[in-house]
Structure formats: C-alpha cells, structure tokens
Amino acid sequence: MSALPGSSKFSHLPRATSGPLVCPYEGRDVLQSSQFNKGSAFTEEERRSFKLHGLLPPNIQTLEEQVQRAYEQYSSRDNDLAKNTFMASMKVQNEVLYYKLIDTHLKEMLSIIYTPTEGDAIQNYSRLFRKPEGCFLNIRDQDRIEECLSNFGGGEEVDYIVVSDGEEILGIGDQGVGAILISVAKLALTTLCAGIHPARQLPVVLDCGTDNESLLKDELYLGLRQSRARGKEYDQFVENFVATARKMFPRAYIHFEDFGLHNAKRILEKFQPHVPCFNDDIQGTGCVTLAALLSGFHVSDVKLEDVRVVIFGSGSAGTGIAEQLADTIATETDKSKEEASKQIWCLDKPGLLLKSLGDQLTPAQVPYARDDDDWPGEGPPDLLSVVKKVKPHALIGTSTKPKSFTEDVIREMAKHVEQPIVFPLSNPTRLHEAQPEDINQWTDGRALIATGSPFPPVDRNGVKYKIAECNNSTCFPGIGLGAVLSRTRTISNKMLVGAVKALAARSPALQDPNGPLLPDVGDVRELSIDIAKAIIKTAVKEGSAEEEGIPTDEDELDEWIRAQMWEPVYRPLVKPQ
C-alpha cells in the first residue's frame, strides 16, 4: 500500500481517502476509538486540539516506527494462536497500525489473521474473549434485530456486511457464536486486499444455537445454549435479518459465509435475484479454483470441451466449484449446462454421487449424480475406482478428509494424463487431502498443484516449483469492491465469469509453464482492482449499476477505483465545524 493518496479529480467522492478526517471526540474518547487513535503518532497540534496532553508519552513517532515496535511485540509471541490474539487486540485499539503492520508483512501474517490460525481462534472464542466486535443477533430475540443493527449507523454508513450462522466454519464444523470471528476476519481481508473502508463494514453472527456438544457443555460458552434451530424458525430468522439489513442499509452488499450444506445454496438462490449478495464458500471458492483450473488446462494443453474433472467432497465448496466449471464449459463450448455437467464427477461421504441416493442428495448435488447403470456393483464407487475409470485431468479435494489423496490414487491418475492437475483445498492445513511434496513425488514432478493454504515450494529436477494457493482472498475482495463502488443491484453469473477471467489473466503460468497457476497474494491489491473493473463494467453493461458518474475511460475508471480504496495511513484529524 502506498502513502496517503495525493490530489485526484475524484477526491470529492464520499469514500475518497485523502484529506483531513473529522473526529467528533476528544481526550480519552479519542484514544479509545480504533478509527481515530494514533497512539504515539498524534502531532503536537492534534494533542493540543483534542486535549491529549498528559494522556500520552511526549515523544511523537511515525507510523513506520510504530510498525517496527509492533512487529517486535508480535514476533515475541511463542505460537500462532498467541500471535492471532495479539493482532485481534491491536485491531480494536488502532486500526491503521493493525492494517499497516499486516500489509508490511502480508505473506507472513495472512495465515495468522485468517486460515489456518483463525480456525483455532474461533474454536477457542469463548475462552479467549476480551472485547466484543460486530453485531450478535440471536434467534430467540428476533424482535430486536432492528434495534441491534441501529447501533452501527444507518443509511449509507455501511457498505459491506459479512454474516455467518456458524454451522460450517473453516472445515472445523459448527462453532456457534464463535462465527463472529469469521465475519470479522473476512472483512479485515476486504480492507487489506481491496481497500474496503473498515468504518463502513459490519460483521454479523446469526446465533441459532449449536449442535456442537463440546460447546454446549462448556460453562464458558458465550452463545445460545441450545440445539441448532432449523426449519421455518430458522428461515424466518434469516429472512428477518436480510429484510431489516436492506431496510437500514439499503445499498449494502451482503456476503454470506460458512452456512451449512443444506442452507448455503438455497439461501443464496432465494436472495440472489433481488439483493446484491454473495456466498464465498460457493461462489468465491468456485471462482478462484476455476481460475487455477483454466491456467492448468492452458499449461497442460487440455481443451475445455474434453476436460474430465473429479471433485472429492460435495459440500458447498465442492458443488460451487462444479457449478462454476459447468457454467464456464457451457459458455465457452456452446454445450448445454447438462452436457457440461457430465464432464464432472462428484464424490461425497457415500462415494460417487449416484441417482439412486435419492433424498440423500442435496439440491446442489443432484445435477452431478450419475446413472447407476454406468457404475454396476454394490454401492457407490470409492475415489480410487472413479479415478481408474474416469482418468481425470484434474482432481479437486474439498472433503476435509486428511490424506484421502493416497499414493495409489495419485499414481493411478498420473498413468493416464501427462500433467495431472491436483488441488487439495481443504482447510485448515491439517485437513488437506495430500501434501504437495508427496503429490510431486508420486507424479515424478509432473503434477500441477494448487492448495487451500500456503505451502513451501517443492523440488522439481533441481528447481523450486512454487505451489499456487487457491486463496479466496485473491478474488472475493475485488468482487465486493466492484459491487460496492458500482452499487450493483445484484451479482450476476456474467460478473463472476469476468472476475475469473481477470484473475486467470494474471497467472504466472501463462508466461512460464513452470510458474504457479495463480498470482501471488502479495499482488492482491492490483488483482482486486482488475476484478473490480470487470464487475463494474459488467454491471454497467447489464444496467444493474446504480452509482452515477462511473467513468467509461479505462484510465479514469482505474483512478476512480483507486481514489476510493482505503489505505492504512494517518490522516490529519480535525474537529467538526
């Protein structure tokens, strides 16, 4: 991130990040606001104007000096969870310093503030709890939803909402009220990666109870101590939340996160036609994985109309990937969606999805269920049997079943394709279907690999081969940025296709066959701008953009986007007029 932006023809826009910042507080109240607190970096004029003398040590420091001290404190923590807790504490004290520290050490810290360490923090939420952050809504108190949301402003004060019900968190399952932390973490990524204003965000948890017995028995658990509510009561709760959020924040973009398998897709499909909303587990995972697949198909010289893909794990993420891939095959090859779906084989806990499973199939799984006559035998085939028969070009894991991509499975795959595309994507790291080093060894260095968490490079004939990370943070923040700035009424499939193409276009593998399939997360701000452009252009073309004055010139559109991206710099504080 750069220094404070200079003058721009778009500096007058409400989200423009240049110029002074109006602060309504003084004295200790300023220091207690993470938005306005500068700690030791308040200027002499600000200390005098906001009555801060005597509340701070006299030496005035720069943001860079504060980052140096904060990094030393961070490094002194002896484990990742302690580092995560340190960062969470900093975030509620000084948001500029928090984001500047992470940006300075982005690749090192991303796995601390997000997956896999955030999963450990969520599991320990009630035991590590210090200060609440976000909005806590519970199903037993639905009459107060509007009252609760009103604590966070109204009208145009909120751009981006992340909401979770906590049923399927980061591969660790039902975490109840601890889901507030995944909402907080996702929003932090939108700020880091796409410049969404932290003061214009709202993390929400819908507490419906939990079926996690260990939480229910924990005397320190902070959520509703009841089994998870389902059926009409649950549906009404979600409906009430969305309706109230739309009423209070009519232009806010709603991001659904970590909803359960039986709810995620149907909730998205219910609101998608008339609300600007997005499900990262379905659409975000699908987009970033598809971008990596397109790069892999390019390197291995496999045409979309011929590709065969096996997906192991048919929950929200797996079926989301299947859906995005089928849409793309259909669009690019003039095949029907049904024909495109026949190039994808999906497995779940019972094995290959077969039509005979009937009611055991979720609505998202039905399009990918195969005819039983094509798979004679007792029960659904297992992964090795499917690989032997299908001879897939690509194998994708979203199962949260560790070590399920065995040596037999990978070697069988490598017998039939020159460059096997293997993506073990389950998070956190301990749930990965295979280790990249093993996949590399079992394919004699021929595999094209992408993972769901960061892994070190592997040795390939004396050369270090970088492992691409299918990290949703390279995709969903840019989609959100484009949606927020364009004020699109909905998120269309064509917008998502544009986002995929923008991400795939930056793949290092397109220039170097030995390069990773996806760009480095260190380039994420520029990636987000490219993706936001694709979203905005499509929204304008489809007539869905409600924002006025969106530039049509490419360079002006770039400047218009950049001028509205928040950056972690200390702006001069001034008192209200």
**384: Cβ contacts below 8 Å, ≥ 6 apart:** 406, 408, 409, 412
Task: Report residue 418's pLDDT band, with 50, 70 and 90 as the boundaries.
Answer: very high
> Per residue in 89-148, pLDDT tens?
999 999 999 999 999 999 899 989 998 899 999 999 999 999 999 999 999 999 999 999
Alpha helices per DSSP H over 176-315: 180-194, 213-216, 231-248, 261-271, 285-300
**To 10 degrees, what angle do helices 231-248 and 261-271 make?**
40
Q: Which two tokens stand for residue 514?
A: 């030995």
User: Contacts for 544-548 with beta carbons within 8 Å, 24 or more apart?
Assistant: 544/486, 544/488, 544/489, 544/490, 544/492, 545/486, 545/487, 545/488, 546/251, 546/486, 546/487, 546/488, 546/489, 547/485, 547/486, 547/487
Residue 353 has pLDDT above 50, yes or no: yes
124 is in an annotated binding site: no
| Average of per-residue pLDDT values in the chain | 94
Residue 429: the pLDDT is 79
> CB of 576 within 8 A of CB of 26?
no
Task: Report residue 2's pLDDT band, with 50, 70 and 90 as the boundaries.
Answer: very low
Residue 471: the pLDDT is 86
471 is in an annotated binding site: yes
> Per residue in 214-239, pLDDT tens?
999 999 999 999 999 999 999 999 99
Query: Average pLDDT, stretch 462-484?
Result: 94
Residue 272 host element (H or E): none
d(CA 224, CA 46): 44
List 545's β-bridge partners, or say none: 488
427 is in an annotated binding site: yes
Residue 430: the pLDDT is 82
Residue 170 has pLDDT above 80, yes or no: no
437 is in an annotated binding site: no
d(CA 540, CA 546): 8
**To 10 degrees, what angle do helices 524-542 and 493-504 make?**
150
Tell me, what DSSP letter sits at residue 572?
P
pTM (2 d.p.): 0.91
d(CA 177, CA 65): 37
Maximum distance among all Cα pairs of the chain, rounded to whole angstroms: 82
The strand pair at 201-207 and 160-164 is best described as parallel
List 351's β-bridge partners, or say none: 348
Query: Average pLDDT, stretch 348-374?
Result: 94
Residue 396: the pLDDT is 98
> Per residue in 179-191, pLDDT tens?
999 999 999 999 9
As a whole-number percent, the residues of the chain with pLDDT over 90 amount to 85
Q: Is the dihedral of CA 511, 517, 523, 524 positive or negative?
A: positive
Residue 4 has pLDDT above 50, yes or no: no
d(CA 418, CA 513): 14
84 is in an annotated binding site: no
Give the chain's domains with CATH numbers. Answer: 21-110 (1.20.1370.30), 129-275 (3.40.50.10380), 283-470 (3.40.50.720), 474-563 (3.40.50.10380)
Q: Which two tokens stand for residue 475?
A: 């995709």
Q: DSSP strand E in 110-239: where?
A: 135-138, 160-164, 201-207
Higher pLDDT, 50 or 172: 50
Closest CA to 517 of 399, 391, 433, 421: 421
Residue 439 has pLDDT above 50, yes or no: yes
Helix (H), strand (E), coil (C) string for 294-354: HHHHHHHCCCCCCCCEEEECCCHHHHHHHHHHHHHHHHHHCCCHHHHHCCEEEEECCEECE
d(CA 567, CA 2): 8
Task: Report residue 5's pLDDT band, with 50, 70 and 90 as the boundaries.
Answer: very low
Q: How far apart are the first and last CA of the chain?
A: 31
Q: Specify the length of the chain in residues.
A: 577
Task: Report residue 7's pLDDT band, with 50, 70 and 90 as the boundaries.
Answer: low
Query: Average pLDDT, stretch 357-383?
Result: 92
Closest CA to 394 of 501, 310, 294, 471: 310
Residue 413 has pLDDT above 50, yes or no: yes
Which residue numbers are catalytic?
114, 186
Residue 9 has pLDDT above 90, yes or no: no
Residue 211 has pLDDT above 90, yes or no: yes
> Per residue in 284-334, pLDDT tens?
999 999 999 999 999 999 999 999 999 999 998 999 999 999 988 998 898
d(CA 203, CA 223): 16
d(CA 539, CA 496): 11
Cβ atoms within 10 Å of 233's Cβ, excluding its own: 12
